[in-house]
Structures are given as structure tokens and as C-alpha cells.
């Protein structure tokens, strides 16, 4: 179904109860996005779901509606797991806006803040628990939370949870919640490790793919600028003079983010930063300031790549390319949201040609590449993995961090609209 056809559709006929339909309409949601249109009927029917959709496509509402409808009829508990505090805060806010009006309570369980309010929320027997894995495990160990009544489990951005090292906590939670449950997994990418989770912990889920795994928003204008690190700050200053709207800048390290934000403020721009060295209140204040326009520029590490839902971000700038190529999709997905247009610029060093080609392979797009002076560059074919190209013996190609080893990205293959299961899909080893 095309976008124009979807604009003629509403949420009627998707299996949603009248009470939730009224609340959705009151919040201003008139037409479902493609992932909502395809996933909600399947999920409200009780099926396990693996949803693949580009970031900014409305995945939160696609699982929030089925969760609230499920617990409203079964009196069971909904559990939503997310990789970052920022994303958890935003998802819980969405749930609260819908759930509060229909008499359902939520609990936000994240690290970095005083646990006492969370303990009070858990004692109040919430209908929906929105949590990051680490803090939820803390409450489990202290016997402050009982997951025996979880009837529907959501794994949002599960690939990011694995990238951040949450695999042991995730596996423990999956063994604690009841096996007789409905499970939904949503992400913009589908690495092999997530397919393995689907095979092991889900009941032959229906895979709903509204965009190929790794697809970027179709209205993001992307470009890469080849520039040495010593020249990047000067180029950044020029770009910030050109783009007058909200700008989100990604740094590979937290120390780099602090340095970039300080330099930007010295240029005379309003800027804040968000990374793991900042307290949760500082991170929330930075996000709030960026969303309200108090700060025109926000500098972040990948902790925020999937945790920023701010309207009208004009430009996403990758000061450094991400360590995981899948994160490129999530970074630039902070602009061109909800059908709007946006710009994404990435800085890269000449030695990162292989990384660029892997990004292009992932998103299936050839990205325009130019020098800092504006001269267009045609990227030469990189040497195969393990072959250090024309370098003389004893001089292997350094990776982006200067360490002499080839960049080996995760592989990403997808099988559209197929059920996972022991007899339905070949299981591949994790990359």
C-alpha cells in the first residue's frame, strides 16, 4: 500500500478497541504509518511479531496499542525493554499519555536516578513496566519486582541492547518471564543475533518488514565529506553557519563530545551535550533544552542515536563515523522524521573508504562524496577483507582508530515476510 493510500486510512478496522481509538484520536493520531498499519492487526490478534522498519517510522505506537489492549482484557502485565534511558523515558511517556486516560498505570525503571520512586511505582502494581535491562535486573535481585504475570513482552531496539553488552541481562529476563506469553521485537536492523533470539524465545513470529533492514528514511539528503581530523573543526564552523536550524552532532567518544560542544559554544552557538559521563538529570535537561529550542545544537555519542525523538532536526552531522555500521541508520534517522525532509553529513578520513562502502552496502544507496573544498570524489573499490591492498608487506591498512586490523562489519541479510522457527528459517551464526 502506497503512502497516498495510507493517508486515506485511519485506525478503524485494525482491531483496536473503541476506548483506545478515542484516546488515539484525542492525541492527534489520524492515520497509521506503514508499520502501524501492518503490525497492529497481527499483534492485537495475539501473534508474535518481528517488525522491521526504518527509524522514525512510528514503531512505538505500533507496539503500545497492542500492549495496552492486551493488558486491558487479560489483566496481565506488559513489559517493554529498551537499550537506553532516553529511549525508555520517551516510550514510557507515550504509554502514559494513552494508558492514563483508560485507567492503566505505568512504571519507568531505568538507571542513573534515585530508585525509591521506582520502588513506589512497582509497589503500586503497574500495568506496564518500561525498563532498561540493567536496572530491571537490580530490582529482580532485590525481589522488588515480580515478572510472573507478564503476558506480553516487547524488545525494542534489541540489536542495540546486544551491542551495548546487555545480552546476559536480556537472556536472564527472558528466562524469568512466563513462556506462555506474546512477544514482539521491533528494530530498524536485523543482525543474525536477533534472528537467533527470535528462533529461541519467540513462537514462530510473523516478520513484518515495511523497509529492507538498514533502510534509511527516503527524504534524508546524505553526503560524506573526506576531511582530515585536524581540519574538521574549521569545516564544522562553516557548516553551522550554513544551517540555521536544529543540529544534532554525533561523536564517537564522550570526551570528543565534550570537546566539540565546548568549541561550538566558543563559536557563539548555543549547545549542550549528552553522553555516559553526564548524570541522568543532565542528560534529560540536555534533551529537553534541544527539543524546546533552548539549545540549537546537541552533541551526542551513540547512547542517543535511538533515544532522541525531536521534531524538525534540520541536520544530523557525524563528526566521526560510528563503530557499528548499523548505527549510521539510527543516527541519520533523527532527521527526516514523520515524512519530513532532512540533511545528513558525515566526516570521514581517506583511510575509511572500506567503512563507507559497507555503509552504502547496508543502506543500498551510493552516497555522494566530496572534499572539504566541494570537489566530488569517486570512491575506488576497496581491497577485500584480509587483503591490505597496495600497502607494502609489513604495512597493513590501519582502521579508523589507527589500529592495524581490517574493519569487519556485521552482515545483514533479510528474508521478507517469513515466519521464524526451527523449520522455517535457517539459523546463521552471529557475525
For residues 191 and 65, give the distance between their C-alpha atoms in angstroms, rounded to a whole number: 26
- Is residue 160 located within the same domain as residue 280? no
Pair 193, 224 in one domain: no
Q: Are residues 229 and 201 in the same domain?
A: no
The grid coordinates listed for 316 are: 544530523
Task: Say if residue 116 is in the same domain as residue 171.
Answer: yes
Q: Do residue 14 and residue 128 come from a single domain? A: yes
26 lies in some domain? yes
Give the DSSP letter of residue 16. -
Listed in sequence order, the residues at least 6 apart from 309 whose beta carbon sits closer than 8 Å to its beta carbon are 56, 90, 337
**377, 398, 420: which is the final residue of a domain?**
377
H helix or E strand, kind and range, residue 135: helix 133-141
Q: Are residues 189 and 262 in the same domain?
A: no
pLDDT at 426: 40
User: Rounded to whole angstroms, how far apart are CA atoms 153 and 29?
Assistant: 24
C-alpha–C-alpha distance, residues 318 and 320, integer Å: 5
User: Is the distance from CB of 329 to CB of 160 less than 8 angstroms?
Assistant: no
**193 and 278 housed in the same domain:** no
CA distance 3 to 210: 12
Mean pLDDT (10-residue bins), the chain, 431 residues: 58 92 91 93 96 79 95 93 90 90 89 93 96 96 96 90 86 95 86 86 91 68 96 97 96 95 97 90 90 94 71 93 86 79 94 94 92 88 49 45 44 46 41 32
Within a domain: 417: no
Phi and psi, residue 426, nearest 5°: -70, 135
| Single residue among 209, 229, 262 that ends a domain in this structure | 209
Residue 382 lies in a domain: no
* CA distance linking residue 187 with residue 156, whole number of Å: 6
> Which domain CATH number covers 52?
3.40.50.300
| 414 occurs within a structural domain | no
Domain count, the chain: 2
Other beta carbons within 10 Å of 206: 19
Residue 405 domain flag: no
- Location of C-alpha cell 533523527: 334
The answer to whether residue 386 is domain-embedded is no
Q: Are residues 173 and 268 in the same domain?
A: no
Which domain range does residue 122 map to? Answer: 3-209
| Residue 310 · residue 300 · CB < 8 Å | no
pLDDT of residue 396: 46
pTM of the model: 0.70
Helix (H) or strand (E) holding 131: strand 128-131
Are residues 229 and 204 both part of a single domain?
no
Is residue 385 a part of any domain in this protein? no
**Domain shared by 71 and 203, yes or no:** yes
The two counts, helices (H) then strands (E), for the chain are 15, 15
Q: What's residue 129's pLDDT?
A: 98
25 & 158 share domain: yes
C-alpha cell at 102: 483508560
Question: Which of helix, strand or coil describes residue 75?
Answer: coil
| Residues 193 and 332 both lie in one domain | no
Residue 407 covered by a domain: no
209, 239, 272 - which closes a domain? 209
Amino acid at each position: 500500500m502506497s503512502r497516498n493510500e495510507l493517508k486515506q486510512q485511519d485506525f478503524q478496522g485494525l482491531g483496536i478497541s473503541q476506548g483506545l481509538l478515542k484516546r488515539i484520536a484525542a492525541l492527534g493520531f489520524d492515520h497509521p504509518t506503514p508499520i502501524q498499519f501492518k503490525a497492529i492487526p497481527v499483534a492485537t490478534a495475539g501473534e508474535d511479531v518481528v517488525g522491521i522498519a526504518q527509524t522514525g517510522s512510528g514503531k512505538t505506537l505500533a507496539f503500545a496499542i497492542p500492549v495496552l489492549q492486551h493488558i486491558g482484557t487479560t489483566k496481565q502485565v506488559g513489559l517493554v525493554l529498551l537499550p537506553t534511558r532516553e529511549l525508555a523515558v520517551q516510550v514510557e511517556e507515550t504509554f502514559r499519555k494513552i494508558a492514563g486516560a483508560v485507567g492503566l498505570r505505568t512504571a519507568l525503571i531505568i538507571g542513573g536516578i534515585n530508585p525509591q520512586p521506582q520502588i513506589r511505582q512497582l509497589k503500586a502494581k503497574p500495568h506496564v513496566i518500561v525498563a532498561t535491562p540493567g536496572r530491571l535486573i537490580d530490582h529482580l535481585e532485590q525481589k522488588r519486582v515480580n515478572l510472573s504475570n507478564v503476558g506480553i513482552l516487547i524488545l525494542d531496539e534489541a540489536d542495540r541492547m546486544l551491542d551495548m553488552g546487555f545480552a546476559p541481562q536480556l537472556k536472564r529476563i527472558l528466562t524469568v518471564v512466563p513462556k506462555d506469553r506474546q512477544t514482539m521485537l521491533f528494530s530498524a536492523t536485523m543482525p543474525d543475533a536477533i534472528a537467533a533470539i527470535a528462533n529461541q524465545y519467540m513462537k514462530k513470529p510473523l516478520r513484518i518488514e515495511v523497509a529492507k533492514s538498514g533502510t534509511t528514511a527516503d527524504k534524508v539528503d546524505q553526503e560524506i565529506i573526506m576531511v582530515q581530523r585536524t581540519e574538521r573543526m574549521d569545516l564544522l564552523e562553516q557548516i553551522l553557519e550554513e544551517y540555521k536550524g536544529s543540529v544534532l552532532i554525533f561523536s564517537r567518544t564522550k570526551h570528543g563530545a565534550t570537546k566539540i560542544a565546548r568549541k561550538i559554544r566558543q563559536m557563539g552557538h548555543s549547545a549542550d551535550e549528552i553522553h555516559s559521563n553526564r548524570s541522568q538529570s543532565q542528560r534529560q535537561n540536555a534533551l529537553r533544552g534541544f527539543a524546546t529550542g533552548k539549545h540549537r545544537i546537541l552533541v551526542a555519542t551513540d547512547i542517543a542515536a535511538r533515544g532522541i525523538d525531536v521534531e524538525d532536526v534540520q541536520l544530523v552531522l557525524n563528526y566521526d563515523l560510528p563503530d557499528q555500521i548499523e548505527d549510521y541508520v539510527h543516527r541519520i534517522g533523527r532527521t527526516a522524521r514523520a515524512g519530513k525532509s532532512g540533511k545528513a553529513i558525515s566526516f570521514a578520513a581517506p583511510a575509511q573508504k572500506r567503512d563507507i562502502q559497507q555503509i552504502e552496502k547496508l543502506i543500498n544507496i551510493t552516497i555522494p562524496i566530496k572534499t572539504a573544498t566541494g570537489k566530488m570524489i569517486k570512491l575506488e573499490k576497496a581491497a577485500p577483507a584480509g587483503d591490505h591492498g597496495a600497502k607494502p608487506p609489513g604495512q597493513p591498512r590501519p582502521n579508523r582508530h589507527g589500529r592495524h586490523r581490517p574493519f569487519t562489519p556485521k552482515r545483514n541479510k533479510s528474508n521478507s515476510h517469513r515466519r521464524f522457527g526451527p523449520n522455517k528459517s535457517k539459523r546463521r551464526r552471529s557475525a
